[in-house]
Amino acid sequence: MTSPDPSSILDLIQAFRRSKVMFTAVSLGIFDKLQSNPANAAELATSLQCNPDALERLLDSCIALGFLSRSDGKYTNTEISSAYLVSNSPNTLAGYVMHSDLSLYPLWANLEDAVREGTNRWEQTFGSGKGLFDHFFRNEESRRSFLNGMHGFGCLSSPSVVRAFDLGFFRRVADLGGATGHLLIAACEAYPHLTGVVFDLPAVKPFAEEHIAASPAAGRIQFLSGDFFKDDLPPADLYFLARIVHDWSEEKIALLLRRIFAALPSGGGLLIAESLLDEDHSGPLPALMQHLNMLICTEGKERSCSEYKLLLESVGFRSVECRRTGTFLDAVLARKP
């Protein structure tokens, strides 16, 4: 009998190596260095304080991954690395790469224990049980790296999320836990009549205002400091929750949804942006990987459309609809009768 093709298994055995090559190249600042000045391995090794032979191996691996090219011995960034791996690019994902390297990579090393015990791995990995947000908000540098990472990652999906449904009926949006405001910015740019407020913790304000100021819709967007579990929610006829529901326990999410429902006028809406699982939880693969990521990192989980309907209807919402966007975040819209 012919053995099945082992290529998928062999690919996964080595997949983490490719990820770590990209993580390390970003961490060392290779793409930032090469963005303005192509250089050979020896020159880069001197400026980055690396072993020349070891660095050349890393650089050549980046060529094979499509992140660098080489001509006359000098390395240069490719189009994709210039767009997404250079830290000051407007579309940069460098912050999310660093988040993945410094936080997710070590957390995922403890996946087996998370599966055995059913709890996140913060204390085991970092010696603290405080969790994701305390970890990333511990100082300004950490906040900036985390928020810029979330911004770059969010910008890939936000334009599709706000177009998944016609939001023309609504007039004022409150983006709860909106961080840098990428989803609200996308909404206000897509719908010229909308105004809105990003509602998040005080420490987020300077970072959010940087990104809001860069938008042509900046005049219609404000930032308001607050805690959506404790403080009065800003008035709106549409609330956004983007990558919020999957972070928290069932009890905390029920509390938040009840608060939103109470604050909404009749006919108001709630737009949730998360990765939708298939009804039988057999896919899509990125959503299932995020489902496991939530186990490792948080109290929460991803859900299917029917699970969102049960959750939202339990606090009074009706007309719950789900739409896939073709990006890593999908959209769920619910209305208050």
Check which CATH number belongs to the domain holding 11 and give it.
1.10.10.10
Q: In which element (H, E) is residue 285 found?
A: helix 285-297
- Going by pLDDT thresholds of 50, 70 and 90, the confidence category of residue 153 is confident
CATH code of residue 195: 3.40.50.150
Asked if the structure places residue 259 within a domain, the reply is yes
- pLDDT value at 72 more than 70: yes
| Domain identity same for 164 and 278 | yes
The arithmetic mean of pLDDT across residues 207-224, rounded, is: 94
C-beta separation of 203 from 137 below 8 A: yes
Distance CA 119, CA 112 (A): 11
| Domain identity same for 180 and 74 | no
| Domain identity same for 311 and 190 | yes
Distance CA 103, CA 97 (A): 10
Mean of all residue pLDDT scores within the chain: 94
- pLDDT value at 54 more than 70: yes
Task: Flag the least confident range among 93-102, 125-134, 228-237, 295-304.
Answer: 125-134
Task: Flag the least confident range among 12-21, 50-59, 152-161, 282-291.
Answer: 152-161
Asked if the structure places residue 115 within a domain, the reply is no
pLDDT for the residue 151: 79
Asked if the structure places residue 212 within a domain, the reply is yes
| Domain identity same for 286 and 162 | yes
Q: Among residues 193, 246, 281, 291, which one is catalytic? A: 246
C-beta separation of 204 from 179 below 8 A: yes
Distance CA 90, CA 147 (A): 14
- Host domain of residue 250: 152-335
pLDDT for the residue 185: 96
| Domain identity same for 314 and 219 | yes
Task: Flag the least confident range among 61-65, 147-151, 171-175, 328-332.
Answer: 147-151
- Going by pLDDT thresholds of 50, 70 and 90, the confidence category of residue 297 is very high
Which residues does residue 277 pair with via DSSP β-bridges, in sequence order?
304
Distance CA 256, CA 57 (A): 50
Number of compact structural domains in the chain: 2
Q: How far is CA 36 from CA 32, 82, 86, 111, in A?
A: 8, 10, 11, 40
| Domain identity same for 224 and 320 | yes
- Going by pLDDT thresholds of 50, 70 and 90, the confidence category of residue 207 is confident
Asked if the structure places residue 140 within a domain, the reply is no
Q: How far is CA 152 from CA 71, 85, 247, in A?
A: 30, 10, 19
Task: Flag the least confident range among 96-100, 110-114, 305-309.
Answer: 96-100
Q: How many residues does the chain have?
A: 337
Higher pLDDT, 291 or 153: 291
Domain stop point among 67, 84, 101:
84
Asked if the structure places residue 168 within a domain, the reply is yes
For the stretch 223-248, what's the b/e string if a residue is b when 16 or more beta carbons lie within 10 angstroms of its beta carbon?
bbebebeeeebbebbbbbbbbbbbbb
pLDDT for the residue 319: 97
The 10s digit of each residue's pLDDT in 124-144 is: 999 876 655 665 656 666 677
C-beta separation of 300 from 246 below 8 A: yes
Asked if the structure places residue 127 within a domain, the reply is no
The 10s digit of each residue's pLDDT in 164-181 is: 999 999 999 999 999 989
| Domain identity same for 78 and 184 | no
| Domain identity same for 79 and 172 | no
Q: How far is CA 83 from CA 93, 152, 240, in A?
A: 9, 11, 28
Higher pLDDT, 207 or 48: 48
Domain stop point among 30, 59, 84:
84
| Domain identity same for 61 and 161 | no
pLDDT for the residue 147: 74
Asked if the structure places residue 130 within a domain, the reply is no
pLDDT for the residue 131: 59
Domain stop point among 84, 115, 140:
84
| Domain identity same for 54 and 159 | no
Higher pLDDT, 129 or 44: 44
| Domain identity same for 296 and 169 | yes
Asked if the structure places residue 320 within a domain, the reply is yes
Say whether 135 is catalytic: no
| Domain identity same for 181 and 66 | no
pLDDT for the residue 138: 64
